[in-house]
Structure 1
């Protein structure tokens, strides 16, 4: 491209958000990074000029904060090319063990917060950008395709995010030139494990080590799996943002590919098993 792209990256203080912010800046693009604590990106602010790097405080649970962020981007740069809708977090534990207020908080961020960012992005791409258009990349998860025991509410929030993003993508007028992609990463070396372990709940009825939820908790707490390199992952996402015809779903990581394929095969197996049960149940029959 002849001029640097303007990126909005939410949840930029750590994980994929931090990695993407660093990559965008190294590539010479313009990064608008949102965080809860402004000082978390002071090291990057010291390296890059305000004309290339803008840090904004944002709580995605606050709809007015989100709207204000897009207003500031318009004032500062007049356009926005890519939104990396990344902010989110998870909790661990059996569904029976998880307090409702904790589960609702996950949905407030992972579903409502992310969806509100997407809606403002679409509005900006359509009404502010000249020419009209933009790239919306929503960070979902392999768990948004294949739910995992012990990570039930995290899985459920990502399933909901997948559903609303897929529906939104179908509703957009192709003339608006807005490309939407669901990033579905597997396990990468970010702070996600520490976050999950620090928000773990247990239930006295779930004690057998062979139970899937118990095994998953033990794996995460004691095994501390290394995961893949997140810096390599964001390079793939950066490349995807320039793809002329990106797909709606973008599973990323060998484990994600395997999990998504397993889920697809399981669904097709069930369809084949019960297909004959729908004989005589056609529309109008």
Structure 2
């Protein structure tokens, strides 16, 4: 995403826990085009400091791309609580820290007011998936936070909030994931857990999603006057969203009349 912004001639503030990861890229651009800032989103003071540094360098921030996160692969029963909580500190609370400061900055620092908050969520925020229950839970939570932000911001502030919900793209996400040994109760060869573990650990797995092309789509979304609150990205995410909507609607219609029995006389 940083490379896409720079390719388009814009200014980028790249935030990372380990800035040396983009040392090669940083060496290609002057400080008036690319500012690299150390940031751990789970530390609120780091988030405030990063926004302050960006403001001092460039005066305003137009777009925040909120994408820190990682995956834990394990059945819910197999996931230690401390491992799940640590992931939530990044995937949800870290994203919340950045979101709050972004909205404040767009409203109180930018002149004129306005900005775009792009939340990198997941198709896993639409539908729970075997062996990634706590990851999906963190993304469901981020969906709720994002929808609420979109509903709360005053239209006069000119702030847009978008949930980018990708499907499967070729990244290092799987390789960087925390892998927990399987729970013995889910070890049947034909179980959803075993099938999904086999899929994600298949060395020959080829994912169709191209992150460079996705970055260009996201860049385009940031420039829309009226962007969507939800953007399923990739055909896999689109199909998951359609199936979730169809399944939810079917349940609602099937049992809608049951609510007739709950009305007060």
Name the TM tier (shorter chain). over 0.9
* 1:106 pairs with one of 83, 87, 103: 87
Please give the alpha-carbon distance, in whole angstroms, between the structure 2 residues aligned to 1:139 and 1:180. 11
CA deviation vs aligned residue, 1:84-110 (integer Å, no higher than 9, x gap): 000100110100001000000110000
> Closer, same or farther in 2 for the Cα pair 1:216/1:32, shift >3 Å?
same
Deviations 1:160-208 (A, max 9, x none): 0001111111111110000000000000000011123x43331122110
Kindly indicate whether the alpha-carbon contact (under 8 Å) linking 2:187 and 2:193 is maintained by their aligned counterparts in 1: no
Query: Is 1:217 the equivalent of 2:197?
Result: yes
* Match in the other structure for 2:251: 270
Aligned 8 A contact 1:94 1:201 in 2: no
- Residues 1:37 and 2:25 aligned together: no
Contact 2:78-2:180 within 8 A present in 1 as well: no
Corresponding residue of 1:9: none
Q: CA deviation at 1:276?
A: 1.2
**TM-score, normalising length from structure 2?**
0.97
TM-superposed deviation, 1:224: 4.8
Distance 2:45 2:204 in 1: 38
Mark the runs of 5 or more structure 1 residues left unpaired by the alignment: 1-19
In structure 2, the residue matched to 1:203 is 183
State the SS of the aligned residue for 2:64: strand
TM-score (norm 1): 0.90
1:154-233 matched pairs, under 5 angstroms: 154-196=135-177, 198-222=178-202, 224-227=204-207, 228-233=209-214
Count of residues paired in the alignment: 264
Whether the 8 Å contact between 1:91 and 1:195 is mirrored in structure 2 is no
* 1:81 counterpart residue number: 62
Does 2:100 align with 1:119? yes
Give the unaligned 5+ runs of structure 2.
none
Write the deviation string for residues 5-64 of structure 1: whole angstroms up to 9, x where unpaired: xxxxxxxxxxxxxxx001101111000001111211111111101000000000011000
- Please tell me whether the aligned partners of residues 188 and 226 of structure 1 are also in contact (alpha carbons under 8 angstroms): no
Is the Cα contact below 8 Å between 1:86 and 1:139 reproduced in 2? yes
Correspondence list, 1:118-157, <5 A: 118-157=99-138
Cα root mean square deviation, aligned: 1.1
CA distance in 2 between partners of 1:280 and 1:95 (Å): 35
Distance 1:224 1:245 in 2: 40
